[in-house]
Chain A
Amino acid sequence: METLEVNLEEQFQTRIDADVRIEPKDWMPDAYRKTLIRQISQHAHSELVGMLPEGNWITRAPSLKRKAILLAKVQDEAGHGLYLYSAAETLGATRDQMLADLHSGKAKYSSIFNYPTLSWADMGTIGWLVDGAAILNQVPLCRTSYGPYARAMVRVCKEESFHQRQGFEIMQTLCEGAPEQKQMAQDALNRWWWPTLMMFGPKDADSPNTEQSMKWRIKRFTNDELRQKFVDMMVPQAEFLGLTVPDPELKWNEAKQGYDFGDVNWQEFWDVVKGNGPCNHERLQARVDAWEDGAWVREAALAHAEKRKQRAGTAAA
């Protein structure tokens, strides 16, 4: 028994090393399954909770075109949530259980959504920076070892890059507009820059699971590597917009062909992770309220489907 398990595990790792996709019916180590369920459901929850900060501006979007683009974007995020919950279900998780874990606070979602959206420029900044960071995190996952997850990520990534371009375009319009508009854009960048850097997670030294996840190819770059890529990608874009990145230590390093940058406020990072960010309470409460207020609707749909089934049964008999 013992040796059989060891062999399966070795074969599994050999397949991963050869970049062969793992599919739902294949044997997989328990820890791989559990880690993936945690990672995918956390991502699904992020899409779901992520609808709230941007949803906050749909009714106040400044033009009909912007309103349509924003609503379509938030709708896309709901769609991402659906694909991801479905991917997690292929591993044996149920959506009800995943949502129960979100609502109880047991499951996490991306901390970035625990910050408030205070001006229209936040819609630009979120698309530009937050979707930008999501892309860096997620593009490598299109080649992740678990088939359904990789396929979901291909669809998601296409839409995320669209969101990023739209966000950048909002910023560009603001930066080319009146002084108040440019000021609005700068203020948004000041508030979102550091929280976005936190999206890549703790420093490698404080990220004990990274090594195993990389071995399983459900993570393909370390947190610090991705953070560096992000800074290197975004600083020139900020310069193009004429905005100032709020980091006095930011400096081009010719030798490493990348930017040196200041340290994230890790105390704030852990505060938000532990539930003490500015909007943790509101975001979770909004999700719990929607779920509880919707209970009677879901019950009615089930009850009606049941009645139909019975009637069909009676008719057939």
Chain B
Amino acid sequence: MYASTDSISLPDVTPELRQQLFSYVLQLADTSLILAHRISEWCGHGPVLEQDLAMANISLDLLGEARSYYQYAAELEGQGRTEDDLAYLRPAVEYRNPLLVEQPNGDFAHTILRQFLYDCFHYHLLVQLQAGPDRHLAAIAEKSVKEAAYHIKWSSEWVIRLGDGTDESRRRLEKAIGSLWRYRGELTTPTTTEQTLQAAGFVPDYAAIQQQIDAHVARVFEEATLPVPQGVFMQKGGKDGRHSEHLGYLLAELQYMQRAYPGMKW
């Protein structure tokens, strides 16, 4: 049934697998949307106008990517829900983003480190997904990977600047590492959905991605003159809908209009 790996058309997929794929695409969508939302909170408040532009740009990229995933998820589900229904009308417990991306912005160092940790995973994931058997997903990945390549360059350069900048920037970055490192593991810890899809060849092997991430982190941290933290206990749960306290507030804001004025067109 999956003989021709580069051209699986989804009608051939079993309903169970289709359901898993729907959950996974939704997880990708939620992740991009929540991070886009967080970065957009900086808009107009950045440390310098050029970085305001850069952050708006990254936020727009992620938002565009999120929309592609939501539209595809809606198609996979086939229940007539739209991208907006999926984004605006699901409660926090149904959101599938990892804990990392919902963490508040904090200061610029905190935002940079959150972005860096995510970009490392995001970029390497997209590189794999664009070669995957689901051609719709591959097409989204192919478009997004070009943007993600810019994101990882941007955040890596800032990690280096802040780590190897002033005493203050280093202290702030170290503080961010102390708060955020523990959310890194969830990105490459597969949920049961991800395991099923990995077995079916739809989702890449995370162990291989983890190696690529570690190599990149090691290079960037060396240039930033920072030690790579070891033996940190990793938090998880977001991808299974068990979130931190922050997500509820974020969604209250994000979903405010749709909740206050149900069923209207905007």
Instruction: Please give the residue numbers on chain A whose beta carbons come within 8 Å of chain B beta carbons, in ascending order.
Output: 48, 51-52, 55, 58-68, 71-72, 74-75, 78-79, 81-82, 85, 120, 170, 173-174, 177-178, 180-181, 286, 289-290, 293-301, 303-304, 307
Task: Flag if B56 contacts A71 (CB, 8 Å).
Answer: yes
Of all chain A residues, the one with the shortest Cβ separation from B66 is: A64
Tell whether A304 pairs with B161 under 8 Å between CB atoms, given A66-B266, A178-B261, A181-B264: yes
A294–B44 touching, CB < 8 Å: no
Residues of B within 8 A of A177 (CB): 264-266
Q: Return the CB mask of B73-98 against A: 1 if under 8 Å, else 0.
A: 00000000001100110000000000
Known: A51-B43, A64-B84, A78-B56. 15 other contacts (CB 8 A): A59-B37, A61-B257, A64-B63, A64-B70, A71-B40, A72-B56, A78-B52, A82-B50, A177-B265, A177-B266, A286-B45, A294-B46, A298-B48, A299-B166, A304-B160
Judge whether A55 and B168 touch: CB under 8 Å: no
Check A71/B60 contact, CB under 8 A, given A177-B264, A290-B44: yes
| Given the contacts A58-B43, A62-B266, A296-B169, A81 and B49 also touching, CB distance less than 8 Å | yes
Q: Please pick, from B33, B53, B161, B254, the residue contacting A75 in the complex, using a CB distance under 8 A.
A: B53
Which among B46, B50, B66 has the highest number of chain A CB atoms within 10 Å?
Answer: B46
Q: Which of B141-163 contact A (CB under 8 A)?
A: 160-162
16 contacts between A and B (CB under 8 A): A51-B43, A55-B44, A59-B254, A63-B266, A64-B66, A66-B266, A72-B56, A74-B43, A75-B57, A177-B265, A289-B45, A290-B46, A299-B169, A300-B161, A304-B160, A307-B164
A300 x B53 contact (CB < 8 A): no
Name the residue of chain B whose CB is nearest to the CB of A50.
B44
Chain B residues positioned under 8 Å from A293 (CB to CB): 45, 47, 107-108
- Whether the Cβ atoms of A55 and B49 lie closer than 8 Å is no
Residues in chain B near residue A51, CB distance under 8 A:
43-44, 52
Given contacts A290-B45, A290-B47, contact A64 B67 (CB under 8 A): yes
Interface residues of chain A: helix, strand, loop or mixed (majority): helix
**In the assembled complex, B258 has its CB within 8 A of some CB on chain A:** yes
CB-nearest residue of chain B to A58? B40
Of the four ranges (under 10, 10 to 19, 20 to 34, 35 or more), the interface on chain B belongs to: 35 or more
Contact check, A304 vs B165: say whether CB atoms are below 8 A apart. Answer: yes
Q: How distant is the Cα of A9 from the Cα of B212 in the complex, in angstroms?
A: 66
Nearest chain-A residue to B56 (Cβ)? A75
Please give, as numbers and ranges, the residues of chain A lying within 8 Å of B115 by CB-CB distance.
none
CA distance A51 to B40 in the complex (A): 12
A196 shortest CB reach to chain B, Å: 21
User: Bound complex: CA of A79 vs CA of B61, how far in Å?
Assistant: 17
Known contacts A55-B43, A177-B264, A293-B107; decide if A68 and B166 are in contact (CB<8 Å): no
Q: What DSSP secondary structure best describes chain B's contact surface?
A: helix
Instruction: Answer yes or no: B214 CB below 8 A from chain A CBs.
Output: no
Given contacts A294-B47, A298-B48, whether A120 and B257 have CB atoms under 8 Å apart is yes
Which residues of chain A are near B44, meaning CB under 8 Å?
51-52, 55, 74, 78, 286, 290
B2 at the interface (CB under 8 A from A): no
Per the bound structure, the CA–CA distance linking A169 and B63 in Å amounts to 21
Residues of B within 8 A of A289 (CB): 45
Nearest opposing residue in chain A for B50, CB measure:
A82
A96 CB, nearest partner CB in chain B, Å: 11
B50 / chain A contacts, CB cutoff of 8 Å: 82
Q: State how many angstroms separate the Cβ of A52 from the closest Cβ of chain B.
A: 5
> Which chain A residue has the least Cβ–Cβ distance from B173?
A300
The distance in angstroms between the C-alpha atoms of A284 and B146, with both chains bound, is 37
In whole angstroms, how far apart are the Cα atoms of A85 and B60 in the complex?
24
- Closest chain B residue to A52, Cβ basis: B44
A128 CB to nearest B CB, Å: 15
On whether the beta carbons of B60 and A75 are closer than 8 Å, the reply is: yes
A64 CA to B161 CA in the complex, in Å? 34
For the complex, give the distance between the alpha carbons of A177 and B164 in Å.
Answer: 54
The 10 closest A-B pairs by CB, nearest first: A294-B47, A300-B165, A300-B169, A62-B257, A51-B44, A75-B56, A297-B47, A62-B266, A55-B44, A304-B161
Q: Is the CB of B253 within 8 A of A59?
A: yes
Choose among B59, B84, B107 the residue that contacts A71 (Cβ–Cβ < 8 A).
Answer: B59
Q: Is the pair B166, A303 in contact by a Cβ cutoff of 8 Å?
A: yes
With A and B bound together, what is the CA distance between A295 and B84 in angstroms? Answer: 39
CA distance A58 to B169 in the complex (A): 29
Q: Determine if B64 is an interface residue (Cβ-Cβ < 8 Å).
A: yes
A residues in contact with B257, CB < 8 Å = 60-62, 120
Q: Given contacts A74-B43, A178-B261, are A82 and B49 in contact (CB under 8 A)?
A: yes
